[in-house]
Amino acid sequence: GMRRIQRVRRPSSGAVAAAVVEFRIAGNGGLSALSIARSSGNAQLDRTALLVIQRAAPFPPPPPGARRHFTIPIKGR
């Protein structure tokens, strides 16, 4: 009985976790800030999400007035 209830209440493993990464782009296109805004609950995925942004940098220098602060979800597989 109880075991079945616990199984039902847990979200299905098919749900894809996502780490929400927050970062800021400097005037020269480099990263000026990078952090996990919301953990995916999976340390490995959080680290991978930060690496994804680090590898994407440097970015093209943003034009004046362009948005420089981004918060994006990065999903696990």
* Structure confidence at residue 8 (pLDDT): 57
Please give the backbone phi and psi of residue 8, each rounded to the nearest 5 degrees, phi first: -70, -40
* Structure confidence at residue 76 (pLDDT): 82
Residues whose CB falls within 8 Å of the CB of residue 59, separated by 6 or more in sequence, listed in order: 25, 29, 30
* Structure confidence at residue 6 (pLDDT): 57
Residues of the chain with pLDDT under 50: none
Model confidence pLDDT, tens digit, residues 55-70: 999 999 999 999 999 9
* Structure confidence at residue 17 (pLDDT): 84
Residues whose CB falls within 8 Å of the CB of residue 41, separated by 6 or more in sequence, listed in order: 17
CA–CA distance, 21 with 66 (Å, rounded to integer): 19
